[in-house]
Amino acid sequence: MKVNRFMENPLVTPGDVSPYHKGFEVIGAFNAGVCRYNGQIIMLLRVAERPVSQESGKVRIPVVNIAGGQGELRIIELDMEDSRFDFSDPRVVKDVKKGKAAYLTSLSYLRIARSRDGRRFTVDESPFLYPELPEESFGIEDPRITQIGDVYYITYSAVSEKGVGVGLVSTRDFTAYTRHGLIFPPENKDVVIFPEKIGGKYYALHRPVPKDLGAPEIWIAESHNLLHWGNHRYLLGLREGCWDSKRIGGGAVPIKTEKGWLEIYHAADGNDRYCMGAVLLDLNDPSRVIARTKGPILEPETEYEREGFFGNVVFSCGVLLEGDQVYIYYGVADSSMACAQLSLKEIMDALVEI
């Protein structure tokens, strides 16, 4: 498959974003939702910031303390000699005894980057969406934008010590927004809402992470109003020994084609190498999987994809379509944003019936 990466890549890097918090540095501007709005191309960036470390041997954890709807930034300082914690993953601090994450090393929120040509972006000065709910005290991550009529519905990961759930806000102008709370409880991520009703119902892909039985795989749910979801069904799973053997989740908002709904999804293998693949779902019953690409359609190859805060990652939360051209906007190495241009026909041709 021919992958035309933009010459301008990476399009936005942490250096292009001024920190919102005093005394903080931006370490990531990545995993953006993408849409067209009012003649602009918008990337809704996940911006990750952390305190500029002032003392070696310490890790300073940013948390938004939320009480009565008011957020207050708080720093938790951990000693790297503290044997209760494992600091080996740059993204999270693990509780050794519990064998699971206790804190994130950075605080994420959503911030808009705007462009006329989809290549040169200007980043807004302040956040579009910042933690406000108790369930968002560790941050807001990985947005997807679905336009339905003139309303843009934005799903995102809501992270707190209570777990990772999925929140929903809607906006008409990317200035004001309405909050709709969490639409999926923990542990869930990677929710993409289909852009129209199918047989009278809205559909969404979601990615539960069960603790005991099961694996991080893609499910599908239904709704009448986008706020309340039900009829959850298992949809698409891991493939042992393949590039999508460890975790898999929805990526871009599904693209309507004559042959079905084309979903460009992400997956990782046992080495945490993240690639993008594609799957085709039935046009009238998206709970039916028709075909899937065998290999990835996009994988980390360039230096900006292989090296960074968390390397060997390409991770798309949104694409734009123009004729046969699919513009895959994607986060690279949990650091920056890039774009690659692929042929829709070539992606469709790569699908293998299941």
- Binding stretches for a second copy (CB under 8 A): 100-102, 134-135, 138, 159-165, 180-188, 206, 208-214, 217, 219, 221-225, 227-234, 237
Report which DSSP code applies to 124.
-
Q: Judge whether 37 and 152 are in contact, CB under 8 Å.
A: yes
Residue 28's identity, in one-letter code, is G
Token couple for 7: 């010459």
Q: Which is nearer to a second copy, 121 or 229 (CB)?
A: 229
Question: Which of 270, 273, 278, 209 is CA-nearest to residue 241?
Answer: 270
Q: Shortest approach of a second copy to residue 164 CB, angstroms?
A: 6
Q: Shortest approach of a second copy to residue 245 CB, angstroms?
A: 13
Q: Which is nearer to a second copy, 29 or 166 (CB)?
A: 166
Question: Rounded to whole angstroms, how far apart are CA atoms 44 and 169?
Answer: 13
Q: Shortest approach of a second copy to residue 78 CB, angstroms?
A: 16
Q: Shortest approach of a second copy to residue 120 CB, angstroms?
A: 37
Q: Shortest approach of a second copy to residue 335 CB, angstroms?
A: 22
Q: Shortest approach of a second copy to residue 265 CB, angstroms?
A: 17
Token couple for 138: 């560790």
Q: Shortest approach of a second copy to residue 16 CB, angstroms?
A: 30
Question: Rounded to whole angstroms, how far apart are CA atoms 57 and 26?
Answer: 20
Long-range contacts of 225-229, Cβ-Cβ distance < 8 Å, separation of 24 or more: 226/148, 226/153, 226/168, 226/180, 226/183, 226/193, 226/202, 227/168, 227/180, 227/181, 227/183, 228/183, 229/183, 229/184, 229/204
Question: Rounded to whole angstroms, how far apart are CA atoms 315 and 295?
Answer: 15
Q: What three-state secondary structure class fits 305? A: helix
Q: Shortest approach of a second copy to residue 212 CB, angstroms?
A: 5
Q: Which is nearer to a second copy, 27 or 159 (CB)?
A: 159
Q: Shortest approach of a second copy to residue 305 CB, angstroms?
A: 25
Q: Which is nearer to a second copy, 232 or 256 (CB)?
A: 232
Q: Judge whether 194 and 203 are in contact, CB under 8 Å.
A: yes
Cis geometry, peptide bond prior to residue 62 (ω within 30 degrees of 0): no
| Phi-psi region at 259: left, alpha or beta (left = phi > 0; alpha = psi -120 to 50) | alpha
Q: Judge whether 93 and 61 are in contact, CB under 8 Å.
A: yes
Question: Rounded to whole angstroms, how far apart are CA atoms 247 and 118?
Answer: 30
Q: Which is nearer to a second copy, 55 or 212 (CB)?
A: 212
Report which DSSP code applies to 117.
S
Q: Which is nearer to a second copy, 187 or 346 (CB)?
A: 187
Q: Which is nearer to a second copy, 133 or 313 (CB)?
A: 133
Q: Which is nearer to a second copy, 137 or 312 (CB)?
A: 137
Q: Which is nearer to a second copy, 151 or 227 (CB)?
A: 227
